[in-house]
């Protein structure tokens, strides 16, 4: 038997399969090549969502339902190969959330971890465990597993962000729990900025002992991350596959900020064409600045600011930037690494 070819069937074998199937058994050699594949085989497809129509649909949703009635007013980005499953990749969820001025998305908590990446508007807040953070364009905000969170918009403009959650992972493990808050809005038990001052200044409280899996910082402001890219780009040390790519870090242990989702911010200088790269973590990208195109598994997608695109596991990715471009991205890399699955490969020069 080979890894990819199935043994020939005989009448005796077929009769045998029927017999054992009736007893809830199956013969491994009839399915081996389907379940232990030499390379990842995914229904997930490369795809790009342009922001303009998404924004229109989201604002239309804003006239149909309130954030409170919807619990979360979100349009789910469904991978074309995984329709009806609320997935953008096999393991991750993506949605675009709208909170209108004066609205509140009520407090709740769930097993699933969430990230927010702000793409439109300025000044709405997310409260996590009693602390509010004001959100601006490009901020990366996390909600750890089972943490109370609510969102509110006291600014005068609609606020839209990309939600990234590990919903499919929680479903896979049959480990989803959720609970509504006692009130729509959490009491503020810590001042805004507390976490960032305590944990986000390259210092930690002297007796700090990490007790959570997620980073104690829950807002990584774009201003700071962008500033780091700006300073580093002067070194002209471009990675041939990634340009200049940084990852968001949990200061308590140097790992990723979330237990199941890795997040990154990268800069591609004007005119750069990256060398092909692939890894087993299917990745969701959103551009914050610049224009370009990305070829994934031979399909090319043009993108500009706020457009969202997804690359499946183990498909070659090549970026090309027309002007200086910045891409945020997230994937399940941290989970795969912990479980021993993660691989990457760089293409030939």
* Residues in contact with ligand GTQ by the rule CB under 6 A: 72, 74, 95, 97, 110, 114, 149, 163, 165
- The least CB distance from residue 100 to ligand GTQ, in Å, is 15
- The least CB distance from residue 211 to ligand GTQ, in Å, is 22
**Residue 57: strand, helix, or coil:** helix
Q: Closest CB to ligand GTQ among 97 and 266?
A: 97
- The least CB distance from residue 83 to ligand GTQ, in Å, is 17
- The least CB distance from residue 105 to ligand GTQ, in Å, is 6
Q: Closest CB to ligand GTQ among 118 and 326?
A: 118
- Alpha-carbon gap, residue 177 to 145, rounded angstroms: 10
Q: State the residue number with the nearest CB to ligand GTQ.
A: 163
CB-based burial, 64-76: b 16+ in 10 Å, e otherwise: eeebeeeebbbbe
Q: Closest CB to ligand GTQ among 132 and 149?
A: 149
Ramachandran quadrant class, 174 (left: phi over 0; alpha: psi -120 to 50; beta: rest): left
Phi first, then psi: give them for residue 80, nearest 5 degrees. Answer: -60, -25
Q: Closest CB to ligand GTQ among 114 and 272?
A: 114
In whole angstroms, how far apart are CA 124 and each of 68, 159, 226, 320? 15, 7, 20, 33
Q: Closest CB to ligand GTQ among 110 and 242?
A: 110
- The least CB distance from residue 229 to ligand GTQ, in Å, is 27
Residue that has been written with the tokens 């399915």 in this structure = 31
- The least CB distance from residue 151 to ligand GTQ, in Å, is 6
What burial class does residue 24 get, using C-beta atoms within 10 Å of its C-beta: 0-12 exposed, 13-18 middle, 19+ buried?
exposed
- Alpha-carbon gap, residue 173 to 19, rounded angstroms: 31
Q: Closest CB to ligand GTQ among 58 and 334?
A: 58
Is the separation of the CB atoms in 241 and 276 below 8 Å? yes
């Amino acid at each position: 038997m080979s890894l990819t070819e199935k043994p020939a069937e005989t009448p005796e074998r077929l009769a045998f399969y029927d017999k054992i199937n009736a007893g809830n058994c199956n013969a491994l050699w009839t399915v081996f090549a389907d379940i232990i594949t030499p390379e990842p085989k995914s229904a997930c497809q490369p795809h790009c969502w342009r922001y303009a129509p998404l924004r229109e649909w989201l604002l239309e949703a804003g006239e149909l339902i309130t954030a409170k009635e919807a619990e979360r007013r979100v349009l789910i980005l469904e991978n074309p190969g995984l329709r009806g499953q609320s997935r953008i990749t096999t393991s991750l969820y993506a949605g675009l959330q709208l909170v209108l001025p004066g609205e509140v998305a009520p407090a709740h908590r769930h097993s699933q971890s969430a990230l927010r990446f702000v793409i439109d508007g300025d000044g709405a807040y997310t409260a996590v465990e009693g602390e509010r953070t004001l959100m601006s364009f490009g901020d990366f905000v996390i909600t750890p597993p089972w943490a109370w969170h609510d969102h509110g918009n006291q600014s005068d403009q609609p606020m839209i962000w990309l939600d990234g959650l590990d919903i499919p992972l929680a479903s896979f493990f049959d480990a989803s729990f959720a609970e509504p808050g006692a009130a729509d809005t959490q009491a503020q038990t810590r001042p805004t900025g507390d976490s960032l001052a305590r944990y986000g200044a390259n210092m930690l409280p002297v007796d700090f002992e990490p007790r959570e899996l997620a980073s104690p910082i829950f807002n990584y402001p774009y201003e700071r991350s962008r500033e780091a890219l700006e300073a580093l780009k002067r070194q002209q040390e471009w990675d041939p596959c990634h340009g200049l790519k940084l990852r968001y870090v949990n200061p308590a242990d140097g790992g990723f900020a979330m237990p199941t989702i890795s997040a990154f911010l990268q800069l591609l200088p004007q005119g750069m064409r990256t060398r092909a790269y692939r890894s087993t973590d299917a990745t969701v990208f959103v551009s914050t600045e610049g224009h370009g195109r990305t070829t994934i598994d031979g399909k090319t997608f043009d993108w500009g600011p706020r457009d969202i695109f997804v690359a499946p596991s183990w498909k070659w990715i090549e970026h090309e930037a027309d002007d200086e471009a910045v891409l945020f991205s997230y994937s399940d890399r941290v989970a795969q690494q912990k479980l021993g699955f993660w691989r990457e490969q760089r293409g030939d020069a």
